[in-house]
């Protein structure tokens, strides 16, 4: 008896699953067509001065052919030029001047100023000097203007730390 119930239950589950899958398995789609990247085509009829209905015996002028125009959607042009950089504060300019006095001329002032911010925060948090030096050396070494033939990386990192300490932190 228990075996029969199990077989009946299994058969019902299999039939229900087959019915559900069959209902979901048709290849019909609610979409009427596949979108394409082709330009849209608009057809318009030219206005005519002839009456809309022509009697069967009349030899009037034939109706004008519809004209086809293509309109291609184009994105708006990008604004000319790049946005101007924000003006430097006296504190930031003082830091950059101190860097130049130490022989470092950064190509991107915003990255150099970010390094100064980091140095000040690291000093305020009593971060280990060797960790701060390593991080600042990495920033200095990534600058396109940095030339290892002119200055060792440790010297460039020390220039950043010295300039930030004297001209940026607590100013």
Q: What is the pLDDT of residue 171?
A: 76
Kindly report, residue by residue over 105-156, the tens digit of the pLDDT. Answer: 999 999 999 999 999 999 999 999 999 999 999 999 999 999 999 999 999 9
From residue 144, alpha-carbon distances to 68, 108, 138, 139 in Å are: 55, 9, 12, 11
Checking if the pLDDT of 18 tops 80, the result is no
With a cut of 70, say whether residue 162 has pLDDT above it: yes
pLDDT of residue 124: 96
Distances in whole angstroms, Cα of residue 137 to Cα of each of 77, 95, 98, 106: 41, 17, 17, 13
pLDDT digits (tens, 9 = 90+) for 45-89: 555 455 555 555 555 566 666 666 666 777 777 666 656 667 899
DSSP 64-129: PPPEEEEE---PPPPPSS-PPPPPPPHHHHHHHHHHHHTT---S-HHHHHHHHHHHHHHHHTT--H
Nearest-angstrom CA–CA distance, 168 and 58: 94
- In the block, tokens 């932190």 appear at 169
- The first and second tokens of residue 110, run together, are 């915003």
- Can you give the pLDDT at residue 26? 55
Residue 164 has pLDDT above 70, yes or no: yes
Q: Give the pLDDT confidence score for residue 73 in this predicted structure.
A: 76
Inter-residue contact 136 to 117 (CB < 8 Å): no
Q: What integer pLDDT is reported at residue 30 of this predicted model?
A: 58
């Amino acid at each position: 008896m228990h075996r029969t119930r199990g077989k009946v239950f299994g058969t019902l589950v299999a039939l229900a699953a087959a019915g559900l899958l069959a209902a979901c398995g048709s290849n019909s789609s609610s979409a009427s067509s596949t979108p394409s990247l082709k330009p849209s085509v608009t057809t318009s009829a030219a206005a005519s001065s002839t009456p809309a209905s022509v009697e069967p015996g009349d030899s009037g002028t034939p109706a004008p052919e519809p004209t086809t125009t293509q309109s291609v959607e184009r994105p708006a042009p990008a604004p000319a030029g790049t946005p101007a950089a924000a003006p430097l504060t006296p504190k930031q300019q003082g830091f950059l001047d101190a860097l130049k006095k130490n022989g470092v001329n950064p190509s991107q002032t915003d990255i150099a100023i970010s390094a100064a911010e980091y140095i000040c925060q690291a000093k305020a948090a009593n971060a280990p000097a060797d960790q701060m030096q390593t991080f600042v050396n990495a920033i200095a070494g990534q600058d396109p203007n940095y030339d290892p033939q002119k200055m060792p990386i440790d010297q460039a990192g020390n220039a950043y730390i010295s300039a930030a300490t004297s001209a940026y932190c607590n100013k």
